[in-house]
Structure 1
Amino acid sequence: MTYHFDFAALLPYWREFARGIWLTVQLSAVSTVLGFVLGTLCAIGRADGSRGVKWLVAIYVEAIRNTPLLVQVFIIYFGIATLGVHVSANMAAVIALVVNVGAYTCEIVRAGIESVHKSQIEAADCLGLSRFQTYWHVVLRPAIERVYPAITSQYVLLMLASSITSQISAEELTAVANRIQSDTFRAFETYIVTGVLYLLLSFVVRVCLWLFGLAVFVRRRKLGTAI
């Protein structure tokens, strides 16, 4: 059996692919920022919070990390609708991605926080730094710098995981590809193109995060190891 590739059949759909890419980028960017904030706050709570806060964060992290993202998406989109709370597919996608990546970010940042030696905190206290100044300058910034490569890898995975939101009709790249292949009956070509586009997106995300690391972390910029 021979198969004749016909990528030309996909050319009329380039606008649909572009819209899918744009929504994927939007979902990833918003989820990255909000997920980082959520994960960092949870990491601080788990590392230096009260016993109750530590337990709550631990339950959240373990529950999210040990259940599939698809199930989490369904709970947010379909589950809470039964409670009378209705959200759009895109909003449900963002919430699910933020909640998911926040749990992983929490553990990554917590590892960075725990790598800061207590003597550095004691030295900050001796210098009269406030609790906020100590956490920001002595604990948090060095901690994030140390785990930045792991964080960047997690956010690339987040961008790829956004494809799961196609199951709730979020019109990102995978959802667009599903619709195009059903119209053209060119599944092989459609998903090859989609795979290449995801590869390019992954490269672009890594480059952007690398440039961000160069801009934020002076020492990494000098060493040339922003990621």
Structure 2
Amino acid sequence: MSFQFQFEPVFARADVLFDGFLLTVQLAGLGILLGGLLGTLLALLRRLVPALGLPITAYVEVVRNTPFLVQLFIVYLGLPQIGIRLTPEQAAVITMALNLGAYTTEIVRAGLDSVHPSQIEAGLSLALSRWQVLRYIVLAPALARVWPSLSSQFVLMMLSSSVFSFISVQELSGAASNVEQDTFRSFETYIVVTLAYLGLAMVLRLILMALGAVLFPSGSGLGRLRQSAGNR
């Protein structure tokens, strides 16, 4: 039996796929922003407030050792049972932020641990305030060292957004499912969707690389830290 590709029915529903693509971008962008900020804050709190070390570590271990889909179901299906009702999109963003926050916490923690205590002492001896030491001597070099790892985790989180179709979010995978059911062209539909995800991942990686170049210029010490971390 011969098989012939027929992309015309799929392209006829391009508007549905494009809407799903835009929703994926929106959800991923918001989830990455919130998750990145949450993880960075928790990593700093775990270092600065020892009393919070145990609960933050527990949160990180629970999230990193349970499936993302199960976490999504807990947020979307479990929270309404205690009176917290969320739209599918809200549940998707919250789950993404919580999941990414745990991974970001560990990545940033590794960066913070790489800053030698003598550097902090040197900053204090130069009459820098504790906030200046934290910002310029601790946090900036830490983020420079782990930026390649953070960038990879952000891309993986964007790709994980495909599971949101399980709670009826019409992102790219959900839109693809609708198109496949309408056209009965499964192979063609998912070839197009695969290329869309591939393109989105590559563009996001380029954006993160450009952001890293702005935050950590190649001619600076922070830039050299980023480049050395990326070459490992």
TM-score using structure 2 length: 0.93
Structure 2 distance, partners of 1:216, 1:14, is 37
Structure 2 distance, partners of 1:11, 1:195, is 14
Identity %: 44
Gaps of at least 5 residues in structure 1 are none
Moved over 2 A (4+): 219-227
Matches within 5 A, 1:83-162: 83-162=82-161
- Tell me the secondary structure at the aligned position of residue 13 of structure 2: helix
Matches within 5 A, 1:196-211: 196-211=195-210
- Tell me the secondary structure at the aligned position of residue 102 of structure 1: helix
Structure 2 distance, partners of 1:197, 1:37, is 27
Matches within 5 A, 1:1-227: 1-51=1-51, 53-219=52-218, 225=227
Task: Check whether the contact 1:213–1:220 (CA below 8 A) recurs between aligned residues.
Answer: no
Moved more, 1-10 or 184-193: 1-10
- Tell me the secondary structure at the aligned position of residue 113 of structure 1: helix
- Tell me the secondary structure at the aligned position of residue 6 of structure 1: coil
Deviation at 1:48, TM superposition (A): 2.7
1:214–1:122 Cα change, 3 Å? same
1:220–1:91 Cα change, 3 Å? farther
Kindly provide the amino acid, as one letter, of the partner of residue 117 in structure 2.
Answer: K
Kindly provide the amino acid, as one letter, of the partner of residue 8 in structure 1.
Answer: E
Task: Check whether the contact 1:47–1:114 (CA below 8 A) recurs between aligned residues.
Answer: no
Task: Check whether the contact 1:40–1:105 (CA below 8 A) recurs between aligned residues.
Answer: yes
Kindly provide the amino acid, as one letter, of the partner of residue 34 in structure 2.
Answer: L
Task: Check whether the contact 1:214–1:220 (CA below 8 A) recurs between aligned residues.
Answer: no
Size of the aligned set, in residue pairs, is: 226
Structure 1 distance, partners of 2:28, 2:43, is 21
Kindly provide the amino acid, as one letter, of the partner of residue 144 in structure 1.
Answer: L
Deviation at 1:161, TM superposition (A): 0.3
- Tell me the secondary structure at the aligned position of residue 85 of structure 1: coil
Structure 1 distance, partners of 2:171, 2:128, is 47
Say what the alpha-carbon RMSD is for the aligned residues. 1.6
Task: Check whether the contact 1:20–1:172 (CA below 8 A) recurs between aligned residues.
Answer: yes
Deviation at 1:215, TM superposition (A): 1.1
Gaps of at least 5 residues in structure 2 are none
Deviation at 1:219, TM superposition (A): 3.3
Structure 2 distance, partners of 1:20, 1:94, is 15
Kindly provide the amino acid, as one letter, of the partner of residue 160 in structure 2.
Answer: A
TM-score using structure 1 length: 0.95
